[in-house]
Amino acid sequence: MGSIHIEAKVGDIAETILLPGDPLRAKHVADTFLEDAFCYNKVRGMLGFTGYYNGKRISIQGSGMGMGSTAIYVNELVSTYNVKNLVRVGTCGAIQTDLQVGQVILAMSASGDSGANTAHFNGMHYAATADFSLLQKAYEAGKRLGIDTLQGSIFSTDTFYDSNPHRWDIWEEHGILGVEMESQILFTLAKRLGAKALSVLTVSDNIRTGEAASSKDREQSFMDMMKIAFELA
């Protein structure tokens, strides 16, 4: 029997899963990288696949945009399907002027404005961090593959559009590398549920300089990110 939002049977999903926001990206990755892949979920169009990469069983599941959607899938993947390792693969906008488009970031921690975290921790601030063993493996995989990675802190927001022109100033001053919308809740829930989590991100644009990736650059950086993520299987 499946969970509310995932129709897979227990056992259909591997212990290690990659979590792109876009379900069509999940399909593209499964078609491109996996052998003997099958689709285990179509509920709400949030596609999920399990297959083999270099002989290792691995799954990939769309998580949707934002922390609310991500929280649903993380909870069900761990609680119902016994997933042990969750790796977000996605993009972020850089807020450090020296960061180049295409840079691969291994997120050590995620600050953020999650309403769920604010409520759960009674207004106090939980330090949401990645699992060190996954972080170390990803770093070593990058070196082995000749892919430059940058390790540091990111910010996860519930709000994509904002009218405050100085919104990111304080975060830039405190060394935050980039902004995305999922990692804070991923890291928090993984710790709470006894799983391991990491975010492997590529810089798609620089919010400060206005630089944005071309379609060719996006594809190359996407491939680099995925090669590292699949090594974690």
Q: Is 36 a catalytic residue?
A: no
Our measurement of the distance from residue 148's CA atom to the centroid of its chain's CA atoms, rounded to an integer in Å, reads 18
Domains of the chain, first to last: 16-231 (3.40.50.1580)
Q: What is the mean pLDDT of residues 114-124?
A: 94
- Residues 19, 200: Cα–Cα separation, whole Å: 10
Three-class secondary structure assignment of 82-136: CCCEEEEEEEEEECCCCCCCCCEEEEEEEEECCHHHHHHCCCCCCCEECCHHHHH
In the chain, what percentage of residues exceed pLDDT 70?
Answer: 100
* Residue range 167-198, pLDDT digits in tens: 999 999 999 999 999 999 999 999 999 999 99
Active-site annotation holder among 31, 148, 162, 205: 205
Q: Which residue has the tokens 């056992």?
A: 11
Query: Which pTM was predicted?
Result: 0.96
